[in-house]
Amino acid sequence: MINKGILIVVSGFAGSGKGTLMKALLSQYDNYALSVSATTRSPREGEREGRDYFFVSTEEFERMIENDDLLEYAKYVSNYYGTPKKYVFDKLAEGKDVILEIETQGALKVKEKYPDTLLMFVMPPSVREIYNRLKKRGTETEEVIMQRMKRADEEAAFIDQYDYLVINDVVEDCVRRMHEAITAAHYSADRNMEKIEEVKKQFKEFLKEER
Ligand code: 5GP
């Protein structure tokens, strides 16, 4: 009955552990498809083209904007990041729940364009923990880490516009809670207007026949 895929945005501070959560969610359930973004940032060690990101030049990125290939895009700590449209629409049409792991500006743009989007925000247990995780990852300089901390502080202003908070304490618990919230979202009335209209139509027809 309810088989349409929904669009899900997952945001979270750098170092909130959302990447780990997404991996676990995708490996445990088969109804999800994770969108791969395009970015002008350089690959980190271990990141792979087409799996983690499509790494492109600024010129290529600007061409994608011009061609209207992106669902949304934003600048984040001096780099462009954007969501290619095609994959998202193809997977939604297949009935998959499509996850965009993007920052707050992009998230709110998506919600404005597609009000059915489910917005989830991942929070680490504390701010100190964010700093510690970034430091431990060891992929950025202290200067970039501090820029990301500043950006995280700015992003905190938008959290109240999200639908759900995901406190990333224990990964397995967190993944289960996310999956439950998404499952519940499938059954919300406003995401099932077609079904509601269909029932109304059936009532009309039924009552006409019985007259
Ligand atoms: P990172 O450089 O750590 O991989 O990502 C930096 C930030 O950009 C993260 O908050 C990440 O969620 C966000 N991001 C990744 N892809 C996109 C995208 O396509 N659009 C937007 N708006 N943000 C993105």
Compute the distance from residue 119 Cα to the ligand 1 centre, in Å: 15
Phi and psi of 162, rounded to 5°? -85, 160
Largest CA distance in the chain: 77
CA 211 / ligand 1 centre spacing (Å)? 59
> Closest Cα to atom 2, ligand 1: which residue?
41
What are the structure tokens assigned to 120, written together?
């989830």
pLDDT for 4? 81
pLDDT at 3: 58
Residue identifier of the C-alpha nearest atom 21 of ligand 1: 102
CA–centroid distance, residue 73 to ligand 1 (Å)? 9
CB 55 within 8 A of CB 130: no
Return the pLDDT at 48.
Answer: 96
Could you give phi then psi for residue 43, rounded to 5 degrees? -65, 140
The number of the ligand 1 atom at minimal distance from the alpha carbon of 106 is 22
Res 205: pLDDT: 96
Domains and CATH numbers, the chain: 1-31+96-211 (3.40.50.300), 36-94 (3.30.63.10)
- The Å distance, Cα 191 to ligand 1 centre, comes to 27
Residue numbers in the chain where pLDDT is lower than 70: 1-3
Residue 102 has a pLDDT of: 96
